[in-house]
């Protein structure tokens, strides 16, 4: 196979390793009279004699597949459930009902899904009690898929704010810090809404560092951030004056008033909140698992492989320059790994929108890499680079990402395409649709950030 085909095979191995259904089946088991859930070094055990009913809920791009795995693990022990997923990210389920909602920008379905899950007992026609266990399946994308505006805010306020944040270059942790302070479900509020039932959250991480409070905006865990933090985010990125007036007023009032101040909006639940006394959260899948599988596949294909980080962040086009530098070092001097080499990384970058084109962070990174390779083609024949999202969706496009080489650059230029102009217009998807190079998987129904694969031969 070509290096481009091998890069896609390595990416596929990464995605296959973090299949949510299989990860849940590995984590959940019945041992005699106990429900045991294990993830890494952590484990939790529930005596089935003390549980009358097990319900399932959740939100995110991977939650349908997580629910499928849970149905196989628990079968008829599941009394019912309701899970919200991104439109198109569905799986056949028998005991858990699926609803679809908007992403990355929330919509009316997102608001309806949040209301149904916040009122889970009513939605399922039951009253939750202390002898019930609610398993909450949390994955990336949940922040948009569940949208419950805080009192005084509207869905349109949340949509406008989300769009500004996504275009600003803010990291996902910063975006979610703001979202949590505009929400009735995020930042631990779902855990409070499910009381008095016990809550077990199983989490698939799509954020750098696997911070539980940032994944889907932490609906079941304490929130360490404050209104002051959220206000600082919108000021740092210069969008405070463009926020809907009600949003800006809420953030300023919360930051100025402080906890418990008259008239200040209620702060998100913190670690000492009673809601968390009966709540446990386990991390079942991460980007690092995907990278380990990618490395194993690269070695199987005959490359000397090196995983450099699972925490790649920053502007996508700047990170592309770092990968190009590593590739040229390997091509010239077999440093830091000998040819044939495969350098693997993961994380989540950002794009600051300056143009009017269409794309995503992975396609932008690949386009920036290729454009720079065209400007400095020495040793470029040896380099192939892929960047793609494990969820199969890169921004508002049909692609997971793109795979590029100097050969693709030359054929694109010969066809009259201008990589530099496309980059300036943030039109990576438009460029690759004409030039080729798109990595298209369709929805993978998993989500553990992005994967980069650099091959040097």
d(CA 175, CA 186): 12
| Confidence at 449, pLDDT banded by 50, 70, 90 | very high
Cis peptide before 104 (omega within 30 of 0): yes
Residue 13: its pLDDT value, please? 98
d(CA 184, CA 191) in angstroms, rounded, equals 11
Mean pLDDT score, 246-269? 83
Percent of the chain exceeding pLDDT 70 equals 99
pLDDT tops 60 at residue 424: yes
Q: DSSP string spanning 175-190? A: HHHHHHTTBSSTTTHH
Nearest by Cα to 61 from 165, 180, 143? 143
Tell me the pLDDT band of 258, cut-offs 50, 70 and 90: low
Instruction: Please tell me the distance from the alpha carbon of residue 390 to that of residue 401, in angstroms, as a whole number.
Output: 9
Q: What is the pLDDT of residues 379-401, one digit of tens each?
A: 999 999 999 999 999 999 999 99
Q: What does the alpha-carbon distance between residue 220 and residue 59 come to, in Å, rounded to a whole number?
A: 12
Q: What is the mean pLDDT of the chain?
A: 96
Span 426-444, pLDDT tens digits: 999 999 999 999 999 999 9
Q: How far apart are CA 262 and CA 269, in angstroms?
A: 18
Provide the residue ranges of all domains of the chain, joining segments of one domain with +. 20-148+183-225+268-285, 288-456
Q: Is 297 helix (H, G, I), strand (E, B) or coil?
A: helix
**Paired tokens of 330:** 């390997």
How do strand 42-47 and strand 97-101 relate by DSSP bridges? unpaired
Per CATH, the homologous superfamily of domain 288-456 is MOFRL domain (3.40.1480.10)
Supply the pLDDT for residue 263: 63
Q: Are 441 and 15 in contact (CB under 8 A)?
A: yes
User: For the segment 119-129, what is each residue's pLDDT rounded down to a tens digit?
Assistant: 999 999 999 99
CATH class of 20-148+183-225+268-285: alpha beta
Residue 260 has pLDDT above 60, yes or no: no
Instruction: Evaluate if residue 262 carries a pLDDT over 80.
Output: no
Taking phi first (over 0 means left), then psi (-120 to 50 degrees means alpha), and beta for anything else, what does residue 294 get? alpha
CB within 8 Å of 81: residues ≥ 6 apart: 55, 56, 57, 67, 95, 96, 97, 124
Are 27 and 35 contacting, i.e. CB atoms less than 8 angstroms apart?
no
pLDDT in tens, 23-80: 999 999 999 999 999 998 899 999 999 999 999 999 999 999 999 999 999 999 999 9
Mean pLDDT score, 216-235:
97
């Amino acid at each position: 196979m070509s290096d481009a085909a091998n890069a896609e095979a390595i990416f596929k191995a990464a995605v296959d390793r973090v299949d949510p259904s299989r990860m849940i089946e590995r984590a959940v088991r019945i041992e005699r009279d106990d429900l045991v859930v294990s993830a890494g070094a952590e484990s939790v055990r529930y005596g089935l004699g003390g549980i009358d009913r097990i319900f399932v809920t959740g939100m995110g791009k991977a939650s349908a597949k997580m629910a499928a795995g849970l149905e196989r693990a628990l079968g008829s022990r599941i009394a019912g459930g309701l899970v919200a997923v991104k439109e198109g990210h569905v799986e056949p389920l028998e005991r858990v009902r699926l609803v679809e909602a908007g992403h990355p920008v929330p919509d009316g379905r997102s608001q309806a899904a949040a209301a149904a899950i916040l009122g889970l007992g009513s939605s399922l026609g039951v009253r939750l009690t202390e002898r019930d266990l609610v398993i909450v399946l949390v994955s990336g994308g949940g922040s948009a898929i569940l949208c419950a505006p805080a009192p005084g805010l509207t869905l349109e306020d949340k949509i406008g704010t989300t769009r500004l944040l996504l275009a600003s270059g803010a990291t996902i942790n910063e975006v979610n810090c703001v979202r949590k302070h505009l929400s009735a479900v995020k930042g631990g509020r779902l855990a409070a809404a499910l009381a008095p039932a016990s809550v077990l959250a199983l989490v698939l991480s799509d954020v750098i560092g696997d911070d539980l409070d940032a994944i889907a905006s932490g609906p079941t865990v304490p929130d360490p951030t404050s209104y002051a933090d959220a206000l600082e985010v919108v000021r740092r990125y210069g969008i405070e004056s463009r926020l809907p007036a009600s949003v800006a007023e809420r953030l300023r009032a919360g930051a100025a008033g402080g906890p418990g101040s008259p008239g200040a909006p209620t702060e998100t639940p913190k670690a000492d909140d009673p809601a968390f006394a009966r709540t446990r959260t386990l991390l079942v899948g991460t980007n690092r698992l995907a990278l380990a599988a990618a490395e194993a596949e690269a070695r199987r294909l005959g490359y000397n492989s090196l995983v450099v980080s699972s925490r790649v962040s920053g502007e996508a086009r700047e990170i592309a320059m770092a990968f190009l530098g590593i590739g040229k070092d390997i091509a010239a001097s077999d440093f830091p790994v000998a040819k044939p080499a495969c350098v693997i990384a993961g994380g989540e970058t950002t794009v600051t929108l300056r143009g009017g084109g269409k794309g995503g962070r992975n396609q932008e990174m690949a386009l920036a890499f290729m454009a720079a390779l065209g400007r400095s083609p020495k040793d470029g024949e040896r380099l192939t680079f892929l960047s793609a999202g494990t969820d199969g969706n890169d921004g508002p496009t049909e692609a997971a990402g793109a795979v590029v080489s100097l050969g693709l650059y030359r054929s694109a230029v010969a066809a009259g395409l201008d990589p530099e102009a496309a980059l300036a217009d943030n039109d990576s998807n438009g460029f690759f649709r004409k030039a080729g190079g798109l990595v298209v998987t369709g929805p993978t129904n998993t989500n553990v950030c992005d994967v980069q694969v650099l091959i040097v031969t």
